[in-house]
Amino acid sequence: MTDTLKRIGHLKVPSVEMSTAQLNWAYRRHITLHLKSFNQSFQAGYIATDHFSLISINTCPIFNNLHDPIISILQKFISTLPNPNQQDGRLTLLKNQNSQYILSFQFCSLNELNRILFQEALEKYPIFSGILVTSPKKQWIIGNPYSEQKIENLIFRFTPQAFIQNHPEQSLYIYKKICSLTTQLKSKKILDLYCGFGITSLLLASQGHFVTGIEYNSDAIRFAKENSKL
């Protein structure tokens, strides 16, 4: 790409500063798994290259280390959920600041599911801190679905329903880089597009900028407003 820009476009391409990550395994803050119907219940995993088959997993090296049983525990739990209509679903697993996990389920319908099963799972598996179960018509919130992140003395709270950069080390580098670039701006007005739940917006505001955040996700907007008051 760089060669093409120089040779064909006759453009000057500045060198890009590279920042290598020290965390290469078990670094991801969250993963999203597909839930497929299996033996009148569910099985979790990733979709294969045929875009249909499920690759069932018991660990994910870029998410959890080999001694962390979270995905095995998850598979055990979802195998107890009734699924007579053989519906599929999605599940996002998010780490919190206390080495626990937040589960966010998405189903087409909750008619065949029972809220009590999720409440019992929270009591049975202390590794779960909170569970969200949603469908187009209903939502169950069980336990504490929030994770917290501290950056530059600012605290940010969010759930799996809002997007967050996945690599803790590299995302921190990105935030600091953005803040360093804006210190040279003459204008103090900044438009933060796709601001999410407000990390860059609030970091820039703490530097004295007047920041307007633009976001579509209603949950992220709500978290951004809450985070501005922490």
Q: Strands, DSSP E only, in 41-100?
A: 41-47, 54-56, 89-95
- The reply, when asked if residue 215 is annotated as ligand binding, is yes
Residue length of the chain: 230
Distances in Å between the Cα of 77 and the Cα atoms of 71, 137, 211 are: 10, 24, 44
Structure tokens at 83: 């699924």
For the chain, report the end-to-end CA distance as a whole number of angstroms.
43
Task: Name residue, tokens 């600091």.
Answer: 176
Residue among 27, 142, 150, 31 nearest 93 (CA): 31
Amino acid (1-letter code) at residue 30 = H
Residue among 108, 111, 58 nearest 88 (CA): 108
Residue among 102, 213, 201 nearest 161 (CA): 102
- Report how far residue 106's alpha carbon sits from residue 103's, in angstroms, rounded to the nearest whole number: 10
- The reply, when asked if residue 169 is annotated as ligand binding, is no
**Residues placed in the known binding site for S-adenosyl-L-methionine:** 165, 194, 215
**Residues placed in the known binding site:** 165, 194, 215
